[in-house]
Amino acid sequence: MPVYSIDVAENEQDTIFERSIDEFRVVAMRQRELVAPQRLSGQTLRQMNALSVADAVRYFAGVQIKDYGGVGGLKTVDVRSMGSNHLGVFYDGLQIGNAQNGTVDLGKFSLENVEEVAVYNGQKSDIFQPAKDFGTSGSVYLQTRRPNFSGDKRINASAKVSCGSFDLRNGSLLLETKITDNISYSANAEYTDASGKYKFRYRKRFTDARGNTIVAWDTTGVRQNGEIDALRLENSIFGSSDGAVWHLKAYYYKSARGLPRAIVRNVWTSSQRQYDRDFFVQGSLQKDFDEAISTKLNAKYSYDYMHYINPDTTLMYVDNTFRQYAVYASTANRLAVSDIFDIAFSADFERNWLKSDMANFALPKRTTLLAALAANLALGNVALQASLLGNFINDAASAKERKTENKTRKLTPAIFVKYTPTEDKKLSFSAFCKRMFRMPTFNDLYYTDIGNISLRPEYTTQFDLGVNELITRGAMQISLAADAYYIKVSDKILAVPKGNSQYRWMMMNIGKVDIRGAEARVGCKLPYVSCQLNYTYQRAHDVTDPTDNGQRGTYNGQISYIPEHSGSALVSATWHDWALNYSFIYVGERYHVSANIAENYEPSWYTNDLSLHKHLILNKILKFDLSFEVNNILDQQYDVVLNYPMPGRNYKGSVRISY
């Protein structure tokens, strides 16, 4: 019976375990990931001062978050200034869709059951994947926890309780059971409740005719209507047999939350409410027939319910419900033609439809067929990857006895190159070029009195050059990475006034954006200390109309909410059963519209967070994890989005018991 040493990355340091196992044969296809993603996983992710996925992705280079404040506030993510609609969010390998408005609220997804968060630019450079994975300009992959049993153990269980500022109460339960040697089951439940109330500084300044800054008022307010009551349930089954690996997952999320309004004209209160019920069931099966052929099958059904209420008649009374349905199936197949050449073919089918109680609603339906052909070629120190995605999309809608149909047929290519000049492969150069588009959403096309059924898709063309190096000096490990990129966005969909009225709008293809940027990432690992530093530079210019260059024009202005400079830092120190973590985020000066004039200026902001963790073991059976967090230590007062004040200094304490 042979003995194997298995390296496991845990707490960003390598730990070696030895276990005696029977002889076995590994059958697996080659994985050639030409452009490495940014990742947060394992102990690093668990010890972060973060409650939702949105809190974690803020620490990646090139990522900007629109956060409307509080525990339950809307949080959307934008990678490299292309817009949140161009980003795909994948949960255990299958995309989370939103055909209604094209964005995914990452604040809904907790980190409690997530094992890894990864951000890919362009696409995941792996040819063995569903066609949908080729169909985004950037992507976030969320990998949930999978059961792992040590020795003869057949049950894992844990319970966690957290409380903190904003009257936060959070609790979660996890149960994992080993049904057979090849089948395991996992159940996870989480409940979150918070009032969302926090103090903020409310200050109004203006410049007089002489250029002097006048303070109109400066006071302290309490953020209202930010409460949330949310429940998340997940059930998963994992199995393997005869070269096949499969899993099934059922997911349910329910929330009731207030929507705090922008602080405008000294009005602080709001009565808007949103009720969500999201459900999906998905499954995946991967089968390796031999060393040359593999296939993967995916399927998913999802239902999303949203009820929005705005009873404020001084604005506009709204009481609407929306129901989204989606059915999805895919197959991916890969063939290793030779030791240096792989090919893959993927085909996806998806059907989306949307219902609402709005008067004269269009009842849109969308059928999407995707077909992707991809290939890997390895020539010595050079690896090439190319893919071609066929998009075949049919839309249909009916309102007021009028039916409309729209067909879209597009081919979108991508090519990736990686060069490793050294034999140890610790230094590599990479490049990619990708052409992609995003379809107009149901709201863009069909929303009552706003939608425009003549909208064209919005395109992105990306060019990227990158370098990565891994330096090892004894117990010290340093990773260096840098990227320079150029992105062109055309036919950008914007809302423009309809006629002379500022109260009626229509969606139009009138936008163009040029994006030039650079990213630098440094990671360092020592026996007791690790750190990660990220820096991003971006010039994202509105180049829509060259004649619009007057004092209030937007031409050649930095687009809204995109800073030229931003960065983050994560530092972790461990000593025996103690861990101390520090995190820092900086977002530079911005403008809240593309007219880069003084009245649209938004100052830079930064936050410093600190957390302390203690691990205890009782009777070699029960494990206790205690943590205490202080966020925004310096009590920085800032807005991510204009007039939506963010919390100042706040606290959270947690206790986890594991068996």
- Cβ–Cβ contacts within 10 Å for residue 650, how many? 20
pLDDT over 80 (residue 610): yes
Higher pLDDT residue, 250 or 66?
250
pLDDT over 50 (residue 3): no
Single out the residue of 255, 256, 146, 235 nearest to residue 189, CA to CA.
Answer: 235
CB 637 within 8 A of CB 200: yes
CB 85 within 8 A of CB 103: yes
pLDDT over 60 (residue 60): yes
State how far the alpha carbon of 253 is from the alpha carbons of 41, 192, 401, 632, in Å.
23, 11, 36, 29
pLDDT over 70 (residue 435): yes
Q: How far apart are CA 142 and CA 92, in angstroms?
A: 6
Query: The pTM is what?
Result: 0.90
How is residue 651 written in tokens?
Answer: 């606290």
DSSP characters for 42-108?
Answer: HHHHHTSS-SBHHHHHTTSTTEEEEE-SSSSS-EEEEETTS-GGGEEEEETTEEEP-TTTS---GGG
How is residue 451 written in tokens?
Answer: 């939608």
For residue 615, the one-letter residue type is H
pLDDT over 80 (residue 12): no
As a whole number of Å, the CA-based R_g of the chain is: 25
User: Phi and psi for 54 in degrees, rounded to 5?
Assistant: -60, -35
pLDDT over 90 (residue 434): yes
| pLDDT the model gives residue 14 | 36
Task: Using the structure block, give the residue that is written with the tokens 């409460």.
Answer: 227
pLDDT over 80 (residue 263): yes
CB 173 within 8 A of CB 234: no
| pLDDT the model gives residue 231 | 96
CB 472 within 8 A of CB 444: no
Does the structural domain 3-658 have CATH classification 2.40.170.20?
yes
- pLDDT-derived band at 206 (thresholds 50, 70, 90) equals low
| pLDDT the model gives residue 9 | 36
Single out the residue of 410, 52, 33 nearest to residue 230, CA to CA.
Answer: 52
Mean pLDDT of 15-39: 54
CB 388 within 8 A of CB 35: no
Q: How far apart are CA 282 and CA 293, in angstroms?
A: 24
CB 651 within 8 A of CB 635: no
Percent of the chain scoring above 70 in pLDDT: 90
pLDDT per position as a tens digit, 313-361: 776 788 999 999 999 999 999 999 998 999 999 999 999 999 998 888 8
| pLDDT the model gives residue 448 | 66
How high does pLDDT run on average in the chain?
A: 87
